[in-house]
Amino acid sequence: MSVASGPAAAVVRLIHDFDRRRHCVILMGMHHALTHWDSPFVNFKNYDFPDGRGHGSRWVHIKRFHVPSGAPTDQELLAALIAHPEFRDTYDGAGVWLEPRHGQWWADRITPGTYTAVDRSGAAATLHTWATSGAPLPPDLDLDLKLRETVYTPIHQSTSRYALGSLPKDARHDYGPLHIEFHELVLIDRRLGTLTLLVAADD
At 143 the pLDDT is: 86
Q: What average pLDDT does the structure give for the chain?
A: 81
- 159 within 8 A of 178, measured Cβ to Cβ: no
> What CA–CA distance (Å, rounded) separates 1 from 117?
47
Burial of 70 (0-12, 13-18, 19+ CB in 10 A): exposed
- 203 within 8 A of 180, measured Cβ to Cβ: yes
- Is pLDDT at 125 greater than 70 in this prediction? yes
Q: Running DSSP on this structure, what letter comes out for residue 96? A: B
CATH: 3.40.1000.50, 3.40.50.1000, 3.30.300.30, 2.40.50.100. Which one for 34-202? 3.40.1000.50
> Could you report the per-residue pLDDT of 146-178, keeping only the tens digit for each?
999 999 999 999 999 999 999 988 888 877 667
Q: How many CA atoms lie within 13 A of 172 on its CB side?
A: 10
Strand-pair category, 58-66 with 160-164: unpaired
Domain ranges, ordered by start, for the chain: 1-30, 34-202
Banded model confidence at residue 84, pLDDT cuts 50, 70, 90: very high
